[in-house]
Structure 1
């Protein structure tokens, strides 16, 4: 498997096959871990980073040799990748923006189905990440724990009996767990209830971020909900806090969608029709506008306003129309103006060719 192979496919989390996938895009468990014998990344020398990467590369290879990790998994030295490939991995949610932009020896292990990735020398020595489609926190948690246990058999983690796992950022110390769910909440945004919902989440120490996690803005009404603190709580308590609130958010979003159908059907229909029409005919279009329009189309499909267009296709377009994906798929570097033209061409080809979606007038 190569990065080019990834560019032409969609990971499991994009396929829209999981529970509640009309609203829940994906569930993610991320574990922060550090090796006991080395300083944290912020204090590590270039030689330390290189040695950490070398050791962990060897441990990953031994797991693959023993059949405990997929033989076809991809090991990439991020520090040696061109910028477009690093950005591609960010867009695919396989590495963080910080991992792409930092310095020194660093790498990532990528599962062929993209259910997991393991970042080496990000903010911590190890960031183990598992992503599943829809609301599937239990399944993601089971896989993350299994991966963590396999790696811990190979290395010694920095751990304190009183504090738990030691991490570079104090907010991760303890379990080192970040539990997050990515949600599509367009109706709550349209009905202007989203800020009230977010204030309620902040009161119970849940963070709200954009599509690409920490520091990113919400685009296209996609939001990541996650725990803020790990110290003093068990893994089960952290997962339960997120798991308990997500069904409430799903219910709020469905109520808002029902309200729009009952009270603003013509306005809603117009919004969806315009979005679909622009995407199918535009000659040039920005990434941000594409996200907003696809958000409306995705909601329209789930409300039965658009037929013959599948949610997995829209999920794929959300990612494949991002800047690095367009360049990987076209095989050439493109400036912003050319990307906007290529993006419009890609959208027309998929929405008018492979998928003949029609706006329902019922």
Structure 2
């Protein structure tokens, strides 16, 4: 499974498979931060120590008869800068890992499981599923965590839990998040009030690429901020409860649009559809905005005969690095914008 295979978004389960409330919740993700006992944190690792951790984790997973046929290892030192940025756009690695020559990532075939190695912590185990499925993601990541812990000695304290490089992750070491598409709430300027409220509940809102990123395409990641003193189940329940409230608010806002507001929304959606199916040049920023509009149009029944999964794929496949890696010869911004416009047009007309 080379880099070309990993670029095949048609096999990515969280993009192409239906999930609960997937008209609003694009994906659910659970992440565990883990470190090895008596081993320096990644920023203090020697090259030999870093390589041993990568090898130990990979070989442990390869011993599993099911996972051994599904996983592939990618060392950051063997990838180009564009390829590493592309993996970040695909939510497989963080930008921090892409800047580490000692890091690696293990990815399974449908990209529901990925394990970053030697990022901020020795291991960042992640499971992503379509729609609102945090409970299911927790069950799957617990299975992977148990499998690794049978062979690897994790740094753990009986009183405070798993030890991590950043104090905010100490305890369960868990982050539970949902990626939500909230165009109606954004358009009606309601997100500020909602996000202010949920911050008081121990949750945080980030952009499409997680920590440090801005919201684009009306996509927001909502996750827990506190890991210490709470059980994994409590964290999941809190995030799911808040997500359900936001889902209800987004749906109600969509349904209540009427008269001039509804007409203007339909006009905006159809204009965006027209641009994506006819434009000669489309930037990555424009693409996310227009794809968001069209995705809303599909969910509201304004646009027919277009699958939401196609638009989910385009959210990923229109990033600058993805376009550059796919096109190979598009080296200037205009060449990439031209390639992107042609690619979107062909994808939407299939």
Describe the SS at the equivalent of 1:214.
coil
1:99 aligns to 2:90 (yes or no): no
Q: In the alignment, does 2:307 pair up with 1:306? A: no
**Correspondence for 2:157 among 155, 160, 169:** 160
2:74 matched to 1:76? yes
Per the alignment, in what secondary structure is the counterpart of residue 67 of structure 2? coil
- How far the C-alpha of 1:76 sits from its partner, in A, is 1.0
Whether 1:147 aligns to 2:153 is no
Say which is worse superposed, 329-338 or 9-18, in terms of deviation: 329-338
Check whether the contact 1:16–1:22 (CA below 8 A) recurs between aligned residues. Answer: no
State whether residues 207 and 221 of structure 2, in contact with CA within 8 Å, keep that contact through their aligned partners in structure 1: yes
Counterparts of 1:143 and 1:262, CA distance in 2: 46
Structure 1: 5+ residue stretches without partners: 355-362
Paired residues of 1:179 and 1:226 also in contact (CA < 8 A): yes
Deviation at 1:80, TM superposition (A): 1.5
- Partners of 2:91 and 2:68 in 1: how far apart? 19
1:61 offset after TM fit, Å?
Answer: 2.8
Q: Which residue does 2:236 correspond to in 1?
A: 239
Match of 1:36 in 2: 37
Once residues 138 and 259 of structure 2 are traced to their aligned partners in structure 1, the CA distance between those partners, rounded to angstroms, is: 39
How far did 1:39 drift?
1.1
Deviations 1:127-173 (A, max 9, x none): 00000000011111110000000000110000001110000010100
Q: Aligned pairs, how many?
A: 349
The one-character-per-residue Cα deviations of 1:233-265 (angstroms, maximum 9, x if unpaired) are 111111111011111000000111112245612
Distance 2:55 2:249 in 1: 48
Counterpart of 1:358 in structure 2 is none
CA shift at 1:290, angstroms?
Answer: 0.6
Q: CA separation in 2, counterparts of 1:225 and 1:60?
A: 30
How far, CA to CA, are the matches of 1:146 and 1:262 in structure 2? 51
**Counterpart of 1:330?**
327
The 8 Å contact of residues 73 and 109 in structure 1, kept in 2 or not, is answered as: yes
SS across alignment from 2:121: coil
Q: Where does residue 360 of structure 1 map in the other structure?
A: none
Going from structure 1 to structure 2, the CA distance change for 1:16 and 1:261 (only over 3 Å counts) comes to: farther
Tell whether the 8 Å contact from 1:4 to 1:328 is kept in structure 2 after alignment: no
Which aligned pairs between 1:260-279 and structure 2 lie closer than 5 A?
260-261=257-258, 264-279=261-276
Hey, what does 1:209 align to over in structure 2? 206
- 1:359 maps to none
Alpha-carbon distance in structure 2 between the residues aligned to 1:310 and 1:292: 18
1:213-224 matches, cutoff 5 A: 213-224=210-221
Distance 1:208 1:15, change over 3 A: same
- TM alignment of 1:277-316, pairs within 5 A: 277-316=274-313
* Partner residue, 2:224: 227
Residue aligning to 2:117 = 120
By how many angstroms is 1:16 displaced? 4.9
Residue from 162, 166, 171 that aligns with 1:174 = 171
Separation (CA, whole Å) in 2 of partners of 1:256 and 1:266: 15
Inter-partner Cα distance in structure 1 for 2:232 and 2:102: 30
- Structure 2 segments unaligned to the other structure (5+ residues): none
Deviation at 1:125, TM superposition (A): 0.2
Structure 2 match to 1:22: 23
The two structures have a TM-score, normalised by structure 2, of 0.96
Give the Å deviation of 1:333: 5.3
List per-residue Cα deviations over 1:181-215 (Å, max 9, x = no partner).
Answer: 00000000001101000100111110100111100
| Residue pair 1:185, 1:253 contacting (<8 A) in 2 also | yes
Q: TM-score, normalised by structure 1?
A: 0.93
Does the CA-based 8 Å contact 2:9-2:15 persist in structure 1? no
d(CA) in 2 for partners of 1:309, 1:153: 46
Check conservation: 1:7, 1:328, Cα contact below 8 A. Answer: no
Tell me, what secondary structure is at the counterpart of 2:73? strand
